[in-house]
Amino acid sequence: MPQRHPVIIITGTPGTGKSTHAQLLQDASPVPLKHINVGQLVKDNSFHHGFDQQWQSYTVDEDKLLDELEPLASAGGIILDWHTCEIFPERWADLVVVLRCNHTMLWDRLEKRNYPLKKIQENNEAEIMEVVLQEARDSYPQQIIVDLKSESSQDLENNVASIVEWINQWLKDNGHEDEDNTL
């Protein structure tokens, strides 16, 4: 049986580049990693209690979502991409990446997505108040949390390269020296 590969959570306020990071990381990883866009999974599989018109988002059924993700997380080799992280059990995570962005830049990104003003304001406040970073710090050991700036294509490149370095070190630390780490 092949050895387990890491579970990486990429989180951050909407608009910080989670999905872009996850996709590029999937392509650059020295081992196969499956990118799971958790928000899309919730929509596609109706893991929700309906759509909240006021907040323009789904009310997630966390039990259904976690039941679906448990076997995937146990097997490893996944990137969980979502705007929150604290619902994922600590035992799942090998690395938690919190993407951060200047709030003015974030506002512009969310406007381009045609988010309603209330949702832009809420997400901008959350970024300023470091809500997602604090959730990560409250939910996981400090040594597995990485806080990365995500404002430019250079940040994106550097971040993906850093995570690939982390994966290579994780593989060594977890007895994968004999594995062929090429895709």
- Judge whether 113 is annotated as a binding position: yes
**What is the chain's alpha carbon radius of gyration, rounded to the nearest angstrom?**
16
- Judge whether 12 is annotated as a binding position: no
- Judge whether 76 is annotated as a binding position: no
User: CA nearest 97: which of 13, 11, 174, 161?
Assistant: 11
* Token pair listed for 118: 């209330």
- Judge whether 77 is annotated as a binding position: no
- Judge whether 46 is annotated as a binding position: no
- Judge whether 19 is annotated as a binding position: yes
Indicate the annotated binding residues.
Answer: 15, 17-20, 113
Indicate the annotated binding residues for ATP.
Answer: 15, 17-20, 113
